[in-house]
Amino acid sequence: MSQKTKSQEDYLRAIYHFFEEGKRVRSVDVAEYLKVSKPSVAEMTSSLVKMGFIAKNRYSSIKLTKKGAEEARKITNKHRIIEVFLTEFLKMEKKNLHEEAHRLEHAFSDNVVKRLGVLLKKPKKCPHGKPIMR
Amino acid sequence: MLRYTMDVEEYVRASGSGLELEELSLFGLNYKFADISGIDIDHFPEEEQMEELCKNNSSVFSWNFDRLTLSRYVAYMEAMVGGSEKEYTGLENGENRGYGLMQSEHRTAIAGYITASEEEDHLRTIYHISEEAGEVSPHNVATHLHSPEDNAEEAIENLQDKGLLQKDNGNGIKLTKEGFITARRITNKHRIIEVFLEKMLRLQGNRIHEEAHRLEHMLTDDFVEGMSRLLNRPKRCPHGKAIK
């Protein structure tokens, strides 16, 4: 069983970011969001297609598959729960939140994040007001 | 012996890993360097595919090197040009292991190096030994290392190179002042994380140590400082060891 790499998780979360806002996701948007080059987005999308997380249609927009959407939501929730933890428990300033959570989302196991969620009484929104869905 | 020739750039592209190539210049030679640590080796081409990627007459082989003392590695690499070659042993999926692909105009190599996380583990191991037994010997280090892939000799040599470890008057080794301070900081970090996992997240048994072991390398000092404050500055870890 092959595991997802950190950058694959980042890509899935970036795609989910646009998907959540009901926007069509193009490679160029993902490149801009993650501040990476277009060729590396192209490489990454092809590896995510191979793994069955996304599908590319002929209009060069990226679609999450059911498996991809579930995975991306999991990663996004993880990111947001960590943001809540950083704000409520560690009193971290809002401007550093995203970056810190971005690093931490790869550090915490699913189990630890689940327990963080319990500790925080299952928050419904991240500090930026985005939903944490179950 | 397996012989491969390949182009690092093409290899990285074929892997679909989105890796960035770095340019390294050492001893007047230019290298392309791609750090492949943490990349799932499954995503890299199989051996047969690698052969298809072959371009020139360089070869791929593997040995260990420490990225921070790359010069030694390069000197070795240069000595190997036209000389005998080590067997290509393939990459292993070690969680902590650092791997890099290097290519000069002469050859391409896959090399392992000691990562910062591994170095932290080595320091914490030595701190632990000196806490328990007082005396640190290469044998003690070898038996206490966390990962079966670890090599005590390499670990000790690396720490000595960095000035974190020194020989004592007898046969043993001891942490330098700087080494001791770093080792204590890492150990405290590990133990504070353990307290957090036990007290706040209610983890139990082995899970505590396992999670802490992974987290200690990834959480910043500030973050752990925040945790410590939140926990009212714990004095002991769940296993009863002191937090100083």
Q: What is the DSSP string of A3-37?
A: PPPHHHHHHHHHHHHHHHTTPPEEHHHHHHHHT--
Does ipTM come in above 0.90? Answer: no
Quick one: B104 and B23 in the same domain?
A: yes
* Interface touch B215/A107, C-beta < 8 Å: yes
Q: Is residue B217 situated within a structural domain? A: yes
**Domain-located, residue B123:** yes
Residue where a domain stops, chosen among B113, B139, B157: B113
pLDDT for position B229: 93
The answer to whether the CB atoms of B200 and A119 lie below 8 A apart is yes
pLDDT of residue B59: 38
Residue to test with chain A: of B35, B43, B204, most A Cβ within 10 A: B43
Question: In the beta sheet, which residues pair with residue B31?
Answer: B24
Residue segments in chain A with a per-residue pLDDT below the cut of 70: 1-4, 58-59
Looking at this protein, which amino acid is placed at residue A70? E
Domain of residue A52, residue span? 6-70
Per the structure, the count of domains in chain B is 2
Please indicate whether, in this complex, the C-beta atoms of B197 and A112 are within 8 angstroms of each other: yes
Domain stop point among B91, B113, B135: B113
Instruction: Tell me, yes or no, whether A64 and A25 share the same domain.
Output: yes
Nearest-CA distance B9 → chain A (Å): 12
Q: Which of residues 194-233 of B touch A (CB under 8 A)?
A: 197, 200-203, 207, 211, 214-215, 218-220, 223, 226-227, 230
Strands A61-64 and B29-35: unpaired
Q: Are residues B201 and B188 in the same domain?
A: yes
Quote the pTM value: 0.70
Do the Cβ atoms of A7 and B17 come within 8 Å? yes
Domain identity same for A86 and A112: yes
Chain A residues with at least one Cβ partner in B under 8 Å: 2-7, 11, 36, 40-41, 43-44, 46-47, 50, 89-92, 100, 103-104, 106-109, 111-112, 115-116, 119
Instruction: Count other Cβ atoms within 10 Å, centred on residue A89.
Output: 17
Distance CA(B167)–CA(B36), nearest Å, equals 34
Using alpha carbons, list the distances in angstroms from residue B109 to A90, A124, B28. 44, 50, 18
Per DSSP bridges, beta strands B62-64 and B108-113 are parallel
Residue A14's pLDDT is 93
Q: Measured between beta carbons, which residues in chain B are less than 8 angstroms from residue A103?
A: 218, 220
Neighbours of A56 (CB within 10 A): 14
Domain that holds residue B162: 117-230
Q: What is the predicted pLDDT for the residue at B123?
A: 93
Question: pLDDT tens digit string along A71-94?
Answer: 999 999 999 999 999 999 888 888
Is residue A27, in this structure, part of any structural domain at all?
Answer: yes
- Does B240 map to a domain? no
Domain boundary among B71, B90, B113: B113
B145 and B163 together in one domain: yes
C-alpha span between A44 and B20 (Å, rounded): 12
Q: Are residues B102 and B135 in the same domain?
A: no
**Spatial separation of the C-alpha atoms in residues A130 and B231, rounded to whole Å:** 29
Do B109 and B122 have their domain in common? no
Q: What is the pLDDT of residue B36?
A: 62
In the prediction, which pLDDT does B199 show? 94
The domain tally of chain A equals 2
B239 in any annotated domain? no
Q: What is the CATH number of the domain that holds A35?
A: 1.10.10.10
In a domain, B129, yes or no: yes
Does B207 sit within 8 Å of A111, measured CB to CB? yes
Q: Determine the longest span between alpha carbons in chain B, in angstroms.
A: 62
Nearest to B109 by CA among B36, B217, B209: B36
- Do B214 and A3 count as a contact with CB atoms less than 8 A apart? no
Residues A58 and A14 in one domain: yes
- For residues A83 and A64, membership in a common domain is answered with no
Q: Which of A36, A47, A89 sits opposite B16 (nearest CB)?
A: A47
B201 contacts on A by Cβ (under 8 Å): 112, 115-116, 119
Do residue A90 and residue B226 have CB atoms under 8 angstroms apart? yes
Q: H helices of A2-119, where?
A: 6-20, 27-34, 38-50, 66-88, 94-104, 110-119
* The predicted structure's pLDDT at residue A117: 93
| pLDDT reported for residue A115 | 93
- The per-residue DSSP string of B60-121 comes to --EEE--GGGHHHHHHHHHHHTTS--PPP------SS-EEEEEE-SS-EEEEEE--HHHHHH
Same domain, B45 and B121: no
Q: Domain for residue A78, yes or no?
A: yes
**What's the pLDDT at B92?**
35
Of A44, A46, A116, the CB nearest to B201: A116
| Chain A residue numbers touching B220 (CB-CB < 8 A) | 100, 103
Q: Is residue B238 situated within a structural domain?
A: no
Residue A129 resides in a domain: no
Q: How far is A115 from chain B (nearest CA, A)?
A: 6
* pLDDT tens-place values along chain B, 244 residues long: 233 445 666 666 666 666 667 776 655 667 777 766 555 544 554 444 444 444 333 333 333 333 333 333 443 443 333 333 332 233 333 334 455 666 666 555 555 566 677 888 899 999 999 888 778 888 888 888 766 656 787 788 888 888 999 988 777 889 999 999 999 999 999 999 999 999 999 999 888 988 898 888 888 888 899 999 999 999 999 989 999 8
CATH number, position B193: 1.10.10.10
Residue A97 sits in a domain of what CATH number? 1.10.60.10
Which among A43, A100, A108 is the nearest to B18, CB-wise?
A43
Closest CA to B210 of B188, B236, B190, B231: B190
In the chain, the amino acid numbered B177 is K
